[in-house]
Every structure is written in C-alpha cells, then in structure tokens.
Amino acid sequence: MLSNQTIAIIKSTVPVLEVHGTAITKRFYNLMFTAYPELLNMFNHANQRQGKQQNALANAVYAAALHIDKLEAILPAVKQIAHKHRSLGVKPEQYPIVGQMLLQAIKDVLGDAATEEILQAWADAYGVIANVFIETEAEMYRQSEQQQGGFADFRAFRIEKKVGESDVITSFYLVPQDGGAIPAFEPGQYVSVKMSIPGEEYTHIRQYSLSDAPGKPYYRISVKREDALPGKPEGKVSTYLHETVQEGDVLWLSAPAGDFTLDRNDERPIVLISGGVGLTPLVSMLADLSETNRTNRRVTFIHAAQHGNVHALRSQVEELAQRSPQVSVYWCYDKPTADDRANRAFDKEGYIDLPWLQSVVPTKDASFYFCGPEPFMKLVYRLLKEWGVAAADIHFEFFGPMGSLEPAAEPKETAARS
C-alpha cells in the first residue's frame, strides 16, 4: 500500500506528466534500448519510429498517476496491456529494468524539478503498479498453458495454405507443427507472430487478428502488405510474409490473446463496422455468430474499402449472410473502380455518414464493434457519439499501441509555454 504522502506527491506530478509525458517516454525507450538492445525483439520498430509507442506509454503513465489512489479505475487498461504483454512473452524479471529506466528518464527530462522525494515516490508507485501487471499476466500465462492444447510462450505452426484475398491482403492457414491440438479462442482475439528475417539483427514480433471462427483445426490470419508511404516505412514483416514465406514454412505463434471480444450475455442487435484490414476480427465474430447459431441477434455487418480490388474476405462474408437470415451486409467504397460500378458491387460511394448509417442500422440500442485505420475509427466513433449511442455499447480495437479517438484538446497554456 502506498502512503498518503506518496499518493499526494504522485498526484502533484500529474500536470507535469501532461506536458512532458511524451518527452519522458521517448527518453525512456532510448535509455532502455541502449542498455538492453535485446528488448528491441519485443517491439514493433515502425511504431517506435512513428512515436505511437511513446505516446501510448505516456498516456498509460499519466493515467496511472491520475488514478494512483484508486488503481481499480485503470484495471480495464491494465488487462488490455497485459494481454499484449502475455502475447509478446513479457516476463516478471523485465519489470525492474523498466522501472530503473523510467526513473532515469524522469530525472533526465525534469532535471532539478525531479527531487529525491519525487523520484522515491515514483519508485514506490511503480513497484505497486508493476505488481498489478505481474499478477494479472501470471494468471493469463496459467490460463493459456493449462487449457486444452495450451502452451506458454511461442509454438511452431506450419503454413498449411496461403491464399491471396485481395491485391493487398493474404490469408495464412496455420496448423501446429507437432500435430497437437490448438487452444480455443474468442472471436476478435489475436496471436503474435515471431519472425527472424534474413539480414535483420533483431527478431520481429507482430500481432495479427484471427480472421476465422473458433473451432477449426487451424488458425487463420489475414495480413495486409504495408507498403511504404510518406512518413511511414514499409512493413518488414508483412512484406516478408507476402513475398517470401510459402506453404510448408514454419511460423512461431503465441497463444491467442486480447479483450476485443463479443459480450455473450447481450441479446440485443449487434453492429460490426470495419475499414480495410480491420475487418479481420469482425469476420471472426460474424463467422462465429453465423456458423454456430449461438444467437438470434440481428447482425449488421458494414465494411468500408477503397474499391473491390483491395476488398478481402468478401465472398466468405456474403456466404455467411446467405446462410443466416439475421445477418445484413453492406459495402462502402470511397474510390470504386469502373468494374465496381458496372457490377453494382457496393451499397454506398464515399465515406460512411450518419444519415446512411441510420438508414441501414435499425436501432442505436445495439452493441457496436469497429476496427480499422485510426482516421476511420475516429470517424465511426464521432458518428456513434453524435447519434447518442451509449458509451458502454461502443467497442473498438487499435491495431498497435492504444491511441485516443477523442478529438484533440486545445493546447493548454502551460504546454504552450514549455
């Protein structure tokens, strides 16, 4: 337990973290990777270069400081991060390293303002927060290993089938190399793929949603090839998977993880909204709902893509809808091709807007799940808020570090002066 004095000191640093949080986390990663370069194996290097990982950690540290007297308020975020840590193979012995580097980063960025009293308070607070993560992750490791077909860390899977789904998305059907059973998973969960790429100093780990229903003798991931764009490097892993990895090759997978899953106790209508490759966890949800006949819930599936050439898994979704009268499917293309127009391959041209959404979704009294590129997710989130959908009915998944879908706040005077 933290003393009242420690809690007061931590809370007094909240305004400082709001201003300097990202600078602290940038310094933290620089220190950690310099002292422990092997930890680069666990991180998406592109997210590091783009600052996403640093911003996500800054937000997490800020939230921990803000709620240090009632850590139960951040338990949902802890569990979400813990799922990722378990999937990546984070171990308890790595937490002291993180604590040491975080305190040094605070000291380096804040200078004389980081008094011994403040640093000690943060050391005490970090110890409490780290224990929450360690205990949560230990339970997740136990559950992962003890279930039927379960395993800890990473396991070898053979690529049984490689299928091009669109010009940019390819599916990989994966079966255990040892011929054993595979763990069950909840639709919406993901696996981590650990890969050594020739010429690369460090291994790479990427997390990909499982894109088919549970209960199959395989896992399926559907991967978008991430091409280089201005300000965005080429996806090393996705390119290697698309261009080099073939059927019969072996990938190392973690057991399924993640908390972006269906609420089985909710019998109201469900709306699944995806953009681009963000359809993968939602196709898994739709396939599970349709194939198992577990529910009579009305399901509306909406997918947005640029055009038909990059639209993956369309035939599977349409087949599921044909077999399931409770499922309605709508396609939204913002840059349809001439063939798309000739074949009437889409229901709406342009971006999703609120009048159109209200015309195809029968009620806002439903559970909404959405996933896709961050600008798309911000649009959907804004539309649902404008419609008055309850916050408890809005569920989403970021591909990568946790971001924010709320509009950016106006800069504070203190931030402007810093």
Per-residue pLDDT tens over the stretch 71-120: 888 888 888 889 999 999 999 999 999 999 999 999 999 999 999 999 99
Shared-domain flag, residues 85 and 133 = yes
Whether 297 and 345 share a structural domain: yes
**Other C-beta atoms lying within 10 Å of the C-beta of residue 390:** 12
Pair (342, 295) in one structural domain:
yes
Query: What average pLDDT does the segment 360-389 reach?
Result: 96
Q: Quick one: which of 314, 349, 347 has its CA closest to 335?
A: 349
List residues bridging with 369 in a β-sheet. 272, 395
Greater model confidence, 41 or 226: 226
pLDDT of res. 192: 95
Q: Are residues 202 and 162 in the same domain?
A: yes
Taking the alpha carbons of 119, 123, 124, 128 in that order, is the dihedral positive or negative?
positive
pLDDT at 62 over 90: no
**Position 408 in a domain:** no
* Better pLDDT: 355 or 362: 355
Note the pLDDT of residue 288: 93
Q: Is residue 61 part of a domain?
A: yes
133 and 164, same domain (yes or no): no
Q: Is residue 264 part of a domain?
A: no
Least confident of 74-83, 175-184, 186-195, 382-391: 74-83
Looking at the fold, whether 179 and 249 belong to one and the same domain comes out as yes
Q: Is 228 helix (H, G, I), strand (E, B) or coil?
A: coil
pLDDT of the residue at 49: 67
- 137 counts as catalytic: yes
Domain housing 78: 4-146
The answer to whether position 321 is within a domain reads yes
Check pLDDT > 90 for residue 37.
Answer: no
CATH number at 70 reads 1.10.490.10
Among residues 29, 62, 126, 137, which one is catalytic? 137
What whole-number distance in Å separates Cα of residue 235 and Cα of residue 396? 23
Provide CB contacts within 8 A for 292, sequence distance 6+: 213, 215
11 & 137 share domain? yes
User: How many domains does the structure of the chain reveal?
Assistant: 3
pLDDT tier at 245, thresholds 50, 70, 90 = very high
CA distance 99 to 28: 10
Shared-domain flag, residues 19 and 136? yes
Residues 129 and 9 in one domain: yes
CATH number for the domain that contains residue 247: 2.40.30.10
Domain annotation covers residue 248 = yes
Q: Are 59 and 168 within one domain?
A: no
* pLDDT of res. 402: 64
Q: How are the residues of the chain apportioned to helix, strand and coil, as percentages rounded to the nearest 5?
A: 50, 20, 35
Spatial strand order in the sheet of 250-254: 204-209, 190-195, 250-254, 154-164, 169-176, 219-224
Q: Which residues are annotated as a binding site for NADP(+)?
A: 276-281
- Residue after which a domain boundary falls, among 197, 225, 254: 254
Residue 344's CATH number: 3.40.50.80
CA 283, 78, 192, 406 dihedral sign is: positive
Establish if 415 belongs to a structural domain: no
265 falls within a domain: no
d(CA 102, CA 25): 8
For the chain, percent of residues with pLDDT exceeding 70: 92
**Of residues 95, 141, 173, 369, which has the active-site annotation?**
95
8 A C-beta contact, residue 29 and residue 51: no
What residues form the annotated binding site? 85, 190, 206-209, 276-281, 398-401
Predicted local confidence at residue 265, as pLDDT: 83
Residue that is written with structure tokens 């337990």 in the block? 1
Q: Look at residues 146, 170, 185 and tell me which one is the last residue of a structural domain.
A: 146
pLDDT of residue 59: 82
Mean pLDDT of 1-16: 91
| Average of per-residue pLDDT values in the chain | 90
pLDDT digits (tens, 9 = 90+) for 269-294: 999 999 999 999 999 999 999 877 65
Q: Does residue 418 surpass a pLDDT of 60? A: no
Residues 136 and 169 in one domain: no
pLDDT value of position 228 = 64
How do beta strands 299-305 and 270-275 pair?
parallel
pLDDT at 409 over 50: no
What is the band of 232 on the pLDDT scale with cuts at 50, 70, 90?
low
More confident residue, 38 or 183: 183
Active site residue 95: yes
Mark whether 129 and 11 lie in a shared domain.
Answer: yes
pLDDT at 416: 28
Residue 240 pLDDT grade (very low, low, confident, very high; cuts 50, 70, 90):
very high
In a domain, 214, yes or no: yes
pLDDT band at 410 (very low <50, low <70, confident <90, very high): very low
What torsion, rounded to 10 degrees, do the Cα atoms 232, 77, 383, 363 define? 140
Domain end: 146, 162, 197, which one? 146
Is the confidence at residue 314, as pLDDT, over 50?
Answer: yes
- The CA dihedral of 207, 213, 217, 219, to the nearest 10 degrees, is -10
